[in-house]
C-alpha cells in the first residue's frame, strides 16, 4: 500500500509543487490548508496535472482539535509542514501574529503526529537562518546568525523545536524523526503553467515583481542597491527552480519512510550552489523571453544580505538529489505562468 504524506499548507506555491512530485513518485497525499493566503487556483491546477481528484481538508493548524482530528481521520506516515505566514516585513509589524501562527501550528502538528504514530516530520526551513554569512557558500555547519525579523526567528525556533522533540521522543512510542530543508530562493513554476506563485498585492520577491512588470501590472522594477561589494554591485542569491526544490522533498521523504536516516534530525541545504546577481537574473529573463524589462536602480532594501548561496553537496551526496534546471528554463517557466494567470 502506498504511504500517505500530509502536506500542510499544500494549496500554496511550494506545497502545490511538492504535492505533484509526491503523487508522481507514487505516494498518497492529503492536502490541508486554511486558505488564509491563497485561493484554490493551485490546488485545482494540481488536480489537472495529475488528472484526478485529491483529498483536501480545510484545516487551520492553530486549531489543536482540528489538527488532531486530521491525524485520526487519515493514517498519515509523514507530514511536510508548510503552513506558515511568510512576509518578512509584515512579521516586523505584527510579531505576535507571526509567533502565534508559525509556532502554534507547528507545535500542534508535532503533538498530533507523535500521538497518532506518525513518526516522520519534514520542516520547511530557510537560508534566512544563516543571516549575513561570514563565508559563502554556506554549508549546513555554517553557524546560524541572530534572526533579523520575527519571520526569520520563527524558522530558527521551529528548527530548534523539531530538534528538541526528536531528542525527547527517541525510543518512545511517539518517536519523531525530523528533516529540516533549508531553501534558498525558490523561483519559477511548473512546466505545465497550471501552478505557480500567486502573490497577494505588491510582490516582495524579485521574480514575481519581474514577471508582473513584464506583463504590465507594475510600471517599473526597482533593483535594490547597485553598490554592494559583488562583481556587478547587485546582491547575489541562489535561485532554485521550484520543481527541483519540490523533488528534494520526495528524496527526503523517501529517506525517512525507508528508514535510511542516520540521525534523528537531519538538515540539508536545498540550492544550486550557483550565485546569480539581481542584474544577471534580470538580463537572463530578458534574453530567454525575448523582451525588455523596465527597471531602475534604487536604494538598498533594509535587511537584505549582500550575497548568499548554498553548498548543496550534502543533499547531493546523502539524498541523491541535485538541482537540474537552468536559471533560463526556470525564468521561462515563470513567464509562462504569469501569462497563464493573465489569461494571455
Q: Which is nearer to ligand UDP, 149 or 169 (CB)?
A: 149
The answer to whether residue 182 forms part of the interface with ligand UDP (CB under 6 A) is no
Which residues, including other chains, have CB under 8 Å from residue 335's CB and lie 6 or more apart? 211, 214, 285, 288, 289
The active-site residue out of 98, 151, 251, 268 is: 151
Q: How far is the CB of 125 from ligand UDP (least distance, A)?
A: 13
Q: Which is nearer to ligand UDP, 178 or 196 (CB)?
A: 196
Q: Which is nearer to ligand UDP, 66 or 136 (CB)?
A: 136
Q: What is the dihedral of CA 244, 217, 205, 8, to 10 degrees?
A: -60
The answer to whether residue 3 forms part of the interface with ligand UDP (CB under 6 A) is no
The answer to whether residue 331 forms part of the interface with ligand UDP (CB under 6 A) is no
The answer to whether residue 269 forms part of the interface with ligand UDP (CB under 6 A) is no
Is residue 304 helix, strand or coil?
A: coil
Among 83, 121, 158, 223, binds ligand UDP (CB under 6 A): 223
Q: Which stretch binds ligand UDP (CB under 6 A): 58-66, 106-114, 170-178, 215-223?
A: 215-223
Which residues, including other chains, have CB under 8 Å from residue 29's CB and lie 6 or more apart? 4, 5, 6, 7, 10, 19, 22, 23, 54, 55
Q: How far is the CB of 54 from ligand UDP (least distance, A)?
A: 29
User: Site for ligand UDP (CB under 6 A): how many residues?
Assistant: 14
Question: Which residue of the chain is nearest ligand UDP when measured via CB?
Answer: 235
Q: Which is nearer to ligand UDP, 228 or 321 (CB)?
A: 228
Q: Which is nearer to ligand UDP, 53 or 292 (CB)?
A: 292
Query: Contact letters (x/-) for ligand UDP, 126-165, by CB under 6 A?
Result: ----------------------------------------
Contact 299, 224 (CB under 8 A): yes
Phi, psi of 49 (to 5 degrees): -65, -45
The answer to whether residue 230 forms part of the interface with ligand UDP (CB under 6 A) is no
Give residue 290's region: left, alpha or beta (phi > 0; psi -120 to 50): left
Q: What would the grid cell of residue 10 be? A: 499544500
Q: Which stretch binds ligand UDP (CB under 6 A): 49-57, 165-173, 216-224, 241-249?
A: 216-224
Distance CA(253)–CA(125), nearest Å, equals 15
Intra-chain end-to-end CA distance of the chain, in Å:
42
Q: Which is nearer to ligand UDP, 63 or 304 (CB)?
A: 304
- Cα–Cα nearest to 78, from 20, 30, 144: 30
Q: Which stretch binds ligand UDP (CB under 6 A): 1-9, 220-228, 258-266, 327-335?
A: 220-228
Q: Which is nearer to ligand UDP, 9 or 225 (CB)?
A: 225
Q: What would the grid cell of residue 240 be? A: 532554485
Phi, psi of 339 (to 5 degrees): -65, -40
The whole-angstrom distance between residue 128's C-alpha and the CA centroid of its chain comes to 12
The answer to whether residue 90 forms part of the interface with ligand UDP (CB under 6 A) is no
The answer to whether residue 235 forms part of the interface with ligand UDP (CB under 6 A) is yes
The answer to whether residue 306 forms part of the interface with ligand UDP (CB under 6 A) is no
The answer to whether residue 301 forms part of the interface with ligand UDP (CB under 6 A) is yes
SS (H, E, C) 273-286: CCCEEHHHHHHHHH
Residue 295 known to be catalytic: no
CA atoms within 13 A on the CB side of 250: 21
Phi, psi of 9 (to 5 degrees): 75, 30
Q: Which residues belong to the active site?
A: 151
Binding site for ligand UDP (CB under 6 A): 185, 204-206, 209, 221-224, 235, 237, 278, 301, 304
Amino acid at each position: 500500500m502506498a504511504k500517505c504524506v500530509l502536506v500542510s499548507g499544500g494549496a500554496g506555491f511550494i506545497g502545490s509543487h511538492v504535492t505533484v512530485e509526491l503523487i508522481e513518485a507514487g505516494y498518497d497525499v492529503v492536502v490541508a490548508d486554511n486558505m488564509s493566503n491563497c485561493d484554490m487556483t493551485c490546488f485545482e491546477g494540481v488536480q489537472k496535472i495529475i488528472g484526478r481528484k485529491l483529498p483536501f481538508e480545510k484545516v487551520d493548524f492553530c486549531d489543536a482539535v482540528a489538527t488532531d482530528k486530521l491525524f485520526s481521520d487519515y493514517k498519515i506516515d509523514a507530514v511536510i509542514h508548510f503552513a506558515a505566514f511568510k512576509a518578512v516585513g509584515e512579521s516586523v509589524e505584527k510579531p505576535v501574529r507571526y509567533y502565534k501562527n508559525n509556532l502554534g501550528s507547528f507545535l500542534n502538528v508535532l503533538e498530533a503526529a507523535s500521538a497518532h504514530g506518525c513518526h516522520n516530520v519534514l520542516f520547511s526551513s530557510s537560508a534566512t537562518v544563516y543571516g549575513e554569512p561570514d563565508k559563502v557558500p554556506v554549508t549546513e555547519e555554517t553557524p546560524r546568525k541572530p534572526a533579523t525579523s520575527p519571520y526569520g526567528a520563527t524558522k530558527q525556533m521551529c528548527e530548534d523545536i523539531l530538534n528538541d522533540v526528536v531528542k525527547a521522543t527517541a525510543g518512545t512510542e511517539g518517536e519523531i524523526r525530523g528533516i529540516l530543508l533549508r531553501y534558498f530562493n525558490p523561483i519559477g513554476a511548473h512546466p505545465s503553467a497550471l501552478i505557480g506563485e500567486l502573490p497577494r498585492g505588491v510582490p516582495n520577491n524579485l521574480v514575481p515583481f519581474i514577471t508582473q512588470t513584464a506583463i504590465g501590472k507594475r510600471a517599473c522594477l526597482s533593483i535594490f542597491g547597485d553598490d554592494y561589494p559583488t562583481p556587478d554591485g547587485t546582491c547575489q542569491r541562489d535561485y532554485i527552480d521550484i520543481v527541483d526544490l519540490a523533488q528534494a522533498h520526495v528524496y527526503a521523504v523517501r529517506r525517512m519512510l525507508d528508514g535510511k536516516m542516520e540521525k534523528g534530525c537531519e538538515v540539508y541545504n536545498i540550492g544550486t550552489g550557483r550565485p546569480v546577481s539581481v542584474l544577471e537574473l534580470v538580463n537572463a529573463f530578458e534574453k530567454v523571453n525575448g523582451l525588455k524589462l523596465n527597471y531602475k536602480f534604487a536604494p538598498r532594501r533594509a535587511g537584505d544580505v549582500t550575497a548568499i548561496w548554498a553548498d548543496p553537496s550534502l543533499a547531493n551526496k546523502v539524498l541523491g538529489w541535485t538541482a537540474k534546471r537552468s536559471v533560463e528554463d526556470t525564468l521561462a517557466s515563470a513567464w509562462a505562468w504569469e501569462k497563464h494567470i493573465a489569461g494571455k
